[in-house]
Structure 1
Amino acid sequence: MAALETPQADSIAPAAVEPLLRGGFGRPYVYSERCDSTQTHLDPGLDEGAVAACDEQTEGRGRLGRRWIAPAGSAILLSVLLRPPAGRRVAELSLVGGIATALTVERALGLSSQIKWPNDVMVNRGKVAGVLAETREGVVILGVGLNVNQGREELPADAPVPPASLRTIDGVRRMRAPLLADLVLEVERAYKVWGAGEIAALFEELGPRDFLRNRRIWVDGEAGQAVAIDRSGRLEVNVGGEQRFVESGEVRYER
């Protein structure tokens, strides 16, 4: 991954990104320097695989409406338009996006990453990325926020999960365009595998990266022990000796 000599050299404008796109996704590539949220920046009538990206979001958000804050030009903030097969669980797409992001992060850092069910990517116990899948007007918008070049002081101190960026992990300031193109390609690959089968088809990439495995957790306020992410993408939890499978919910964990 190319290192960045000066912040001014970094760009995710079309001229920097489009020559690096290698698959079918990212066409069109809808870019703005500043937008409210990439989640609202894609016309549902665009082709599947259309990508929206912004250097700065004024209303970026994650799950449960939490704000996603990143200084302008420091992160990768993008959304991908998807048209999944009828009858498929949209919630699984957060895991699909998580797998794609985790693989991208691992190649950039040369370190292993983990997926905190259902939608966070973790490295060394710090959250480097979040994924959000939302249904809008008959399509799914899959959003990814990946912390790239923020310094420690630029990350929110009051986040519910300790944040990190690629730069705080290895000290390298990166050009975002190659990283963004890699991420789009990984999303396309993981999505096509999922579309041809089920989330189980990605289990070999998901299972070993399970951040919550064997941790004491609270799901919607109820305490238990996380067992594993199952082949349906659910979180298996042991609650007082009773086995439960959680398809969605708010998870806290014991640090």
Structure 2
Amino acid sequence: MDDLELVRDLYGRPRPGPDAQARVWRRVVARRRRRRLSWLAVVPAVAAALALVFTVHQPQELSGRSILLSAATTAASGTGGTYWHVKKLHDGGRVTELWVTRQGRAWTAEQGRITRVTGRSPFSMAGRDLTVQQIQGLPAEPVALRERVAAMLPAGSEGLLADALAGLLWTKPSAPAVRAAAYRALADLPEVRYLGARTDARGRAGEAFSFGLLSGGRRTLIIDPVTSQVLSSMDSGGRSEIVLGAGWTDRGPDLP
């Protein structure tokens, strides 16, 4: 059975539509995890499936861009909550947590000790503080979001656009529609490189993307396009953060 017949057998004949490309990628990613297919086996099958729906594109464009668009579709269907909560493992040792309400009240936790955040905002972009209200007010359309974020960056930091957009995926309390727009904006940035399937330090499977930093190094994110969650972040200098949880929740910190 050739690749085209395999895809038709697995998924049926794809139906054209605005989300068809994302649907195909989500199915391929799920099947790859179940069957542990190698990347070399998946690429021709994916290309054949997408060829039934879209006009011919370059395979490299289809791979990375389609995965980000698939993640965007999932992110848009997310739900809200009372608290934005992020739990991270830093450099393989230190665990931190952050809770933030929509009104801007925030708490951090490290080694079990919960502390109220006062003074500066717990969020920033290229060294500039951001309030929860500013983050919540970001546009939910990718072109408008890219332009707004670019305008918020300090002069001389234009190279941080990809990093700033990526921060809206997991480090900041973005609305689901804004997270989806950030994924779509990243999909159209030529400086974002797709590195292929990877596993993070905890053995979780995902897809890796990298982009440049002002320091001259690069940052690599591993994402799960099926859940739209960022699994880990690693800089070329060795700094790493494993995401143990990120999203809106109704469960706040256990305050005394």
- Scaled to the shorter chain, the TM-score interval is under 0.3
Compare CA radii of gyration and give the structure with the larger one.
2
TM-score, length-scaled by structure 1:
0.27
Higher relative contact order (CA 8 A, sep 6+): 2
TM-score, length-scaled by structure 2:
0.27
More helix by percentage: 2
